[in-house]
Amino acid sequence: MAKEFETKVLHGDKKGNREIASKATPIYQTSAFTFKDLDELEGFYEGNGRYLYSRVGNPNTDELGDAVARLEGAPAGLSASSGLSAILAGVLAVVKSGEHIIAADDVYGGTYHMLKEELKDFGIETTFVSFTDLSNVEKEVRENTRLIYTESITNPLLRVEDLEAVISFAKKKGLLTLVDNTFATPLHVRPYEFGADLVAHSATKYIGGHSDVTSGVVVGREDLIAKVAGKIVNLGANLSPFEAWLTSRGLKTLALRMKAQSSNARMLALALKDNADVKRVYYPFENGKEGYGAIVTAELSDKVDMNAFFRALSWIKIVPTLAGVETTVSHPEVTSHRALSTEARAALGINRQVVRISAGIEHANDIIRQFESAIKESVKRK
């Protein structure tokens, strides 16, 4: 069994046991599986068979869930149609109507909206609070509180969660924890090893890594993952075989990509810190050997015309997402955190001058030059 991350990301715990010994897993692009007779069909329902219908299970979707679980150090994992559907399935597996969630107030805007607005229709209430001081969290615990939700690195301001403290607090209160580990990836942090009950990923991002697939993964305790499976199957949140295959293929280069991208992000963050026209740089410099993740968020000075800045970026694409091998940039105010009120964004520090940069695998000097040039060109002249 492989011990090092770089080996685990390529090899499972066991050799493949397929009838045709292909080196790469085939794409099982089928909606259903066949049976030789009624006895074999009945055997599936008695637990003697694995595959019936691809919404219920497929070798490609299983491979992805199992692979990410292995990297996270968790006993079980499942894939889903997107990161948000993975989070939703995880939440609904452990929280029911009439129960309450406490979530960090600086999470991804799409998650914030889902927890705050969509779950109300399920009779589930969420309270958002700063996790920088757990006494704030303790004040919000109710008799019907069931779940603590946070991100290992928050989106977009890159606060590194004190997972050990948050999870320890939750356990003392008898609460479950669900952690979104998308930004850190299991290369940098493995929340399950800190005691998290469930860990979710938008596998669209670093797990897949090439901006050509939409997928999600949730891993954790076997008893909870069994409940998550029911939600994914019965709510139709399953991932297609082809997209699972693409994501699994991308996963194989996670260690190489993430190391290069994290190194580039750190160098870019250092360069932007020294730029007089950058008001603030968000990057967790003190964590990890080469920084901590491949995202840099910066607040540009008020002298920078934002439209001019984005137009001046040349080969760096403006996108609403992140994590591909190409460097990209997004504008959280109008994309990822658009659903938040103006007041909520202001309280978090998300304003028009804030940009979120996803470092790619290009040469760091080219990335730095491109941003420095765009900032210089877009400064308002008197």
Tell me the per-residue pLDDT of 107-131, one tens digit each, with 9 for 90 and over: 999 999 999 999 999 999 999 999 9
Q: Verify that 274 and 246 share a domain, yes or no.
A: no
Q: Verify that 167 and 125 share a domain, yes or no.
A: yes
Distance between start and end Cα atoms, the chain: 64
Looking at residue 282, its amino acid is Y
Q: Verify that 142 and 171 share a domain, yes or no.
A: yes
Tokens of 304: 């920078």
Q: Verify that 285 and 246 share a domain, yes or no.
A: no
Give the SS3 label for residue 175.
Answer: coil
pLDDT band of residue 150 (cuts 50, 70, 90) is very high
Q: Verify that 243 and 266 share a domain, yes or no.
A: no
Spatial CB neighbours of 180, under 8 Å, sequence gap ≥ 6 = 83, 87, 107, 108, 111, 149, 150, 151, 152, 199, 200, 201, 202
Q: Mean of the pLDDT values across residues 162-190?
A: 97
- 100-104, 126-130, 348-352 — which is least confidently predicted? 348-352
Of the candidates 252, 278, 295, which is a domain's last residue?
252
> Could you give the angle at which helices 109-116 and 83-94 cross, rounded to 10 degrees?
40
Q: Verify that 217 and 347 share a domain, yes or no.
A: no
Q: Verify that 28 and 142 share a domain, yes or no.
A: yes
Give the range of the structural domain holding residue 360, as residue numbers without chain letter: 255-378
Of the candidates 206, 229, 252, which is a domain's last residue?
252
This prediction has a pTM of 0.94
DSSP state of 81: S
Q: Verify that 32 and 109 share a domain, yes or no.
A: yes
Q: Verify that 260 and 195 share a domain, yes or no.
A: no
Instruction: Tell me the per-residue pLDDT of 8-49, one tens digit each, with 9 for 90 and over.
Output: 998 876 555 567 778 888 999 999 999 999 999 999 999 888
Q: Verify that 207 and 243 share a domain, yes or no.
A: yes
What is the number of domains present in the chain?
2
Is the pLDDT assigned to residue 280 strictly greater than 90? yes
Q: Verify that 152 and 263 share a domain, yes or no.
A: no
CATH (domain of 190): 3.40.640.10
Q: Verify that 230 and 278 share a domain, yes or no.
A: no
